[in-house]
Amino acid sequence: MMIDFKNLNLNQLLSENEFEKKVKSFLEHWLSDEKTVLVQTSGSTGIPKIFEIEKSKMMNSAEMTCNFLGLKEGDTALLCLPVEYISGKMMVVRSVIKNLILNVTEPSLRPLQNVDHEIDFCAMTPLQVENSLDELHWIKNIIIGGAAVSESLKNKIFNTLGSKGSQRIFETYGMSETLSHIALKQIYPVSEVFFTAFENVDISTDERGCLRICAPQLNAEVLQTNDLVEIKNNNQFRFLGRIDNVINSGGAKIFPEQLEALVKKEIPNEVVFTGREDERLGQKLILVIEGQKSQGIIDKIVAIPFEKSFHRPKEIIFIEKIPRTPNGKIDRIALKNIQ
């Protein structure tokens, strides 16, 4: 299904599958007199919940993203994310406010497999990008959200597109409460370390070093996150890890996300560092690897020059499948329960 928002006629939109019906239903609600939209959270950091968002604030968010990327009327976009979540809804809203031409394709691990023409803008998850490397050249601007972009995936993007491609690919920072994202970090063709927050978004940290977000155009409340960050200046920050994921091993605080990024430079498998209760250390550092047990992979991990001795895992476990939430994020809570 293709929707030209400059010449929108809902009656002429023919829905061929359940996903297209959901998109049309959301559009009908969006164009109604209702002032709010119901959004479901992913449940990756707690129990999934549904909350109301003002349409006006979603429009503000859409403007921020479109202005940052320089999108304009008549540009093309691709929707390949579920519309139950804020990520999919915001792709539709961006298309509405900028009069984009939206190509709707059912969410899958290979959303670009039938694309045969250039598209100006698309939002994808890391797994979707991982499975679409050979088709990325069709998309001018890609934003990747839902989970952190691994070093392994960044390397694959560079190896596929070359170092001087014309595409721009960004990693996003945000959550449902910030209406998708409030900051972007370019990972291709320039590889940036710090996220850049949008205009009119103020960032600071609390006494724990966790990010605090003040974005009145998106949310009336000051949002206090559990994300440990390093702030470079008024609008740039580096993500260190979630404070509730921090592993305390023998009194040393370990940020699993940083260790995972290091390991993923060496092996292609999905990996998760987690802590297991230990009488001596409090928590013992465990590395969980998705896939069949491999001595070759173990040897590569043993050879990694970890910055600290306590960063080296005390145990390496292989499992068939690392649990994920419905929208593809690693479910660390479920993983602890199956260790």
In what side-by-side order are the strands of the sheet with 195-197? 2-4, 101-104, 76-79, 119-124, 139-144, 168-173, 183-188, 195-197, 236-242, 223-233, 210-214, 202-205
SS3 sequence, 155-180?
HHHHHHHCCCCCCEEEEEECCHHHCC
In the prediction, which pLDDT does 306 show? 93
Whether residues 121 and 102 fall in one domain: yes
Whether residues 41 and 109 fall in one domain: yes
- The CATH number given to whatever domain includes residue 311 is 3.30.300.30
Whether residues 227 and 277 fall in one domain: no
Dig out the tokens for 57 from the structure: 């604030």
Q: Which helix (H) or strand (E) element contains residue 290?
A: strand 282-290
Whether residues 211 and 77 fall in one domain: yes
Query: Considering 242, 268, 299, which residue would you say is the last residue of a domain?
Result: 242
Q: How far apart are CA 278 and CA 249, in angstroms?
A: 9
Whether residues 297 and 203 fall in one domain: no
Give the tens place of pLDDT for each residue, 194-232. 999 999 999 999 999 999 999 999 988 999 999 999 999
Whether residues 221 and 305 fall in one domain: no
Whether residues 214 and 121 fall in one domain: yes
Dig out the tokens for 300 from the structure: 């590569």
The pTM of the full predicted model, rounded to 2 decimals, is 0.81
- The CATH number given to whatever domain includes residue 218 is 3.40.50.12780
In the prediction, which pLDDT does 339 show? 60
Q: At what angle do helices 55-69 and 86-98 cross, to 10 degrees?
A: 70
In the prediction, which pLDDT does 328 show? 67
Whether residues 220 and 300 fall in one domain: no
The widest CA-to-CA distance across the chain, in whole angstroms, is 67
Tell me if 85 sits within 8 A of 177, measured CB to CB. no
Domain membership of residue 332 as a residue range: 246-338
Say what the alpha-carbon torsion angle 293, 316, 193, 234 is, to the nearest 10 degrees.
Answer: 140
Whether residues 90 and 209 fall in one domain: yes
Q: How far apart are CA 327 and CA 281, in angstroms?
A: 34
Nearest Cα to Cα of residue 184 among 70, 260, 266: 70
Beta bridge partners of 231: 237
Q: Is 15 exposed, middle or buried (0-12, 13-18, 19+ CB in 10 A)?
A: middle
In the prediction, which pLDDT does 117 show? 94
- Total number of domains constituting the chain: 2
Sign for the CA dihedral angle at 128, 129, 130, 131 comes to positive
Please name the residue that has the structure tokens 């949008």: 198
Q: How far apart are CA 16 and CA 313, in angstroms?
A: 50
Query: Considering 190, 216, 242, which residue would you say is the last residue of a domain?
Result: 242
Whether residues 218 and 323 fall in one domain: no
Whether residues 149 and 27 fall in one domain: yes
Tell me if 330 sits within 8 A of 324, measured CB to CB. yes
In the prediction, which pLDDT does 47 show? 59
Tell me if 111 sits within 8 A of 65, measured CB to CB. no
CA 264 to chain centre: 17
Query: Considering 207, 242, 277, which residue would you say is the last residue of a domain?
Result: 242
Residues of the chain with pLDDT under 70: 41-48, 327-328, 339
Q: How many residues are present in the chain?
A: 339
Whether residues 280 and 331 fall in one domain: yes
Q: Which residues of 62-86 are buried (b: 16+ CB within 10 A; e: fewer)?
A: bbbbbebbebeeebbbbbbbbbbbb
Give the tens place of pLDDT for each residue, 66-90. 999 999 999 999 999 999 889 999 9
In the prediction, which pLDDT does 44 show? 52
